[in-house]
A and B are shown apart, each in its own frame.
Chain A
Amino acid sequence: MVSYIFYGWWDWRFLSLIIFSSVVDFVLGQRIELAQERAYNEDRGFKAKHLLYLSLFVNLGLLGVFKYYDFFITEFIAAFGGLGVELHTSTLRIILPVGISFYTFQTLSYTIDVYRKKLPAVYDWTVFFAYVSFFPQLVAGPIERATQLIPQFKKPRYFDYDQAKDGMRQILWGLFKKMVIADNCAQIVDSVFNNFETQDTGMLALGAVLFAFQIYCDFSGYSDIAIGTARLFGFKLMRNFSYPYFARDIAEFWRRWHISLSTWFRDYVYIPIGGSRVNSKAKLIRNIFIIFLVSGFWHGANWTFVAWGFLHALYFLPSILRGNNRKNLDTIAQNRALPTLKELGQMLFTFALVCIAWIFFRAESIGDAFDYLTRMATNLNFNPRPFRKNIFLLLGIVIFISVEWLQRRKAHGFEFDEMKLPQIARSTIYLVTALAILLFSVSGGNGFIYFQF
């Protein structure tokens, strides 16, 4: 009930949408299971598959109407306009229901897993509705799997002091990332991207790098707050980020970035279409492009996101074609304090590639993104003034990177080993962090970027 109030607070009208989606999958999950039992007894296997298709149709249909309808209509009209045919079709002009991309994928994972017999259908509607609408992760993930979260609703839960304590630390770290790093980066990033035509190389590079930190701290900050909050209630949500900017290649980056979405696409799209176990390189290349383009398009109805996905597919291809996409499965500098020069070079190169792709993600159009890159490569000036002016933010980012580096083997930045770090040091860290949030947060703040997806 609290989760529904939480969702309705934003716009009560869209409550009907999440309730509809929940009812459909609650009923279809049971029918799929029933159909499979009958199929086993009566040798009629087709009905369960049809019910699964119905679930896919309803959920993807909702997503299509609310998220992509206007985009396709506009593109359709533009395409015919290019051929000299003028079409008069109206768009819906509806606002995107917050969290629709997240809870739709979550309910889909349920029906697919029931169909695959990985999970029994749920007959307790309170459990199922709580699973779809669980408030910490409802609007921006992590996208939970039915197999992981539903059993937790069925179990009795007890207050776990250590979990709650570490959950509070995770929330504090998440707030620091969002309010101190992401929101301050946003101010400079907005100014650079909105006026990129007048900026020099130094400023454009700064804008791209700061956007990389903005989107990471914004989204992983939200994930930390969501996971930490769930832990206070005794729930364990899946990890969503694992220090992605310390990745040594693009494959490793994707094992560490938005883990709940990338594994969702892996399990429900990539593997069903053959994954990497296909008999030709052409099919492998096709599969890679499908997964990255769909992933890009999931972010929003704009070609910039598709271009971002396309670019990552291009980055990813060489390693998977050479078969070395799984060479960096361990943590960087596992038993050392610092990376080797080679590792540092790999990290910086990967980060640079990621930043270039972020330009497409952040730009208003693909044309703007190319103009941004062209200007960055041609207007070779460097004015140190903006760097001096934002010295506190840059210092904050250095501190942030240092904390992440020191904690790279841990689940989150503030997971402390109490045997190694004395109480006084931990308390000082909490107080300084809270004070930093008070001192450096931006007035009015910014919404979370991923709320728009």
Chain B
Amino acid sequence: MSLFFKKIALYISLIFLLNLAVGAWLKSYESVDLKEAGIFFSDLRWEDYYNLEKPIDALILGSSHAYRSYHPATIKKESGFKNAVFNFGSSAQSPVTGLFILEEVLKTHKPKVVILDLYVMALTSDDQLDNGRINYHSMQSGAVKRDFLQKGFGFSEQVKLLFFPSFVYRDHFKHKVNKLFGRNFLPVGKGQYDTHGFAFNTDTLALAKLQYDNQFSRFDIHADQMTAKNLAYTQKIIDRCKSANIPLVLMSSPMPRLSVSFIEEYPQISTQFGRLAKENGLPFFDFNQETIEEVRDEYHYFDDDHMNLNGAKIFSKQVGSLIKKQLDK
């Protein structure tokens, strides 16, 4: 029996080492390939943040809707801020990730306002592995990063993150193989990184795509899909801003009218966000309900839910003046 267990231990060790080696190779897709192409936005965003020379006046948190809709320069101009407006949105950012980003920022900055962009799809899963990881790896070492790992990720996610990189980065396998065979290995439609966290795409969406190939027509989204954990962490962000005496504004950035129309329960979802804001005495602006009419068509988006640069600038102008009004109150 001892020979059997020795062999099992040997194979487990070999598999573990192989997993580390392959995992490192797969991870290089983000840290080398995407970074060299200038489209590993979260890493560029963190680098940009750590190199900031000015303090942050306004901080934006949220999903890709946030980092593609809130144009820092326009908001700064419209609101009259003297210092930086920084967009810390990231792909599918959950409130769990959002809280630890906020904690990291509060270590060195005291923003005059925090904007939390609420998007229902970022609140429907407790899976932290993808949306948390891209921020965790770029965050500087310290107490917040340790806390992020221990409290933000579930136990199995921590094990995967620390010991099974080949599993965590397995989605990159196809791209790395494409690269090996000299084929295109970069994702299309990512656009480019601007500055202060903002990334943009200048393409305009074709109406036919919005009508007939709309991702929201395939989803079945309900208000009760928002998880208890995500709602609890949204409350934690609210409480953290209150304890730091920083005004918080809740917003839902605009999506094409047609896309929203596919989400049957959107009014209930919006009502739930409104109730959360009201209970905490916060302002909530849902730009899919109280509309900025001119940015709800296909021309201001590059896909069925993300604004293009033109749309983001128009929207941010409105956000800037709203923030100014809120702070002047």
Contacts and interface: CB of A to CB of B under 8 A. Distances in A.
Nearest to B170: A439
B4 interface: yes
Nearest to A434: B15
Contact of A438 (B11, B14, B129, B167): B167
A443 B8 contact: no
Interface of A: 159, 161, 164-165, 168, 195, 392, 427, 430-431, 434-435, 438-441, 443-444
B18 interface: yes
Given A431-B18, A435-B166, A438-B167, A168 B173 contact: no
Nearest to A432: B18
A440 B218 CA distance: 25
Nearest to B26: A439
Chain B's interface: helix, strand, loop or mixed, by majority? helix
A430 B22 CA distance: 16
A431 B11 contact: yes
A311 B18 CA distance: 48
A441 B167 contact: yes
B18 A435 contact: yes
Contacts of B166: 435, 438-439
A435 B18 CA distance: 8
Is chain A's interface secondary structure helix, strand, loop, or mixed overall? helix
B170 A440 contact: yes
A388 to B, nearest CB: 12
B8 A439 contact: no
A431 B4 contact: no
Given A164-B4, A441-B167, A435 B15 contact: yes
Most buried by B among A159, A439, A444: A439
B19 interface: yes
B19 A161 contact: no
B4 A438 contact: no
B127 A443 contact: yes
B3 interface: yes
24 contacts: A159-B1, A159-B4, A161-B3, A164-B4, A165-B4, A195-B218, A392-B174, A431-B14, A431-B15, A434-B18, A435-B15, A435-B18, A435-B19, A435-B22, A435-B166, A438-B19, A438-B170, A439-B167, A439-B170, A439-B173, A440-B170, A440-B173, A441-B167, A441-B170
A105 to B, nearest CB: 33
B22 A439 contact: yes
Contacts of A443: 127, 129
A99 to B, nearest CB: 26
Contacts of A444: 127
Contacts of A431: 11, 14-15, 18
A439 B21 CA distance: 13
Interface in B153-180: 164, 166-167, 170, 173-174
Kindly list the 5 A-B residue pairs having the minimum CB-CB distance in the complex, ordered from nearest. A434-B15, A439-B170, A159-B1, A438-B167, A438-B166
Nearest to B3: A161
Contacts of B3: 161
A430 B3 CA distance: 17
Given A438-B164, A440-B170, 4 more contacts: A159-B1, A164-B4, A440-B173, A444-B127
Contacts of A165: 4, 7
Contacts of A161: 1, 3-4
B168 to A, nearest CB: 10
A431 B14 CA distance: 8
Interface string B30-45: 0000000000000000
A168 B8 CA distance: 9
Contacts of A435: 15, 18-19, 22, 166
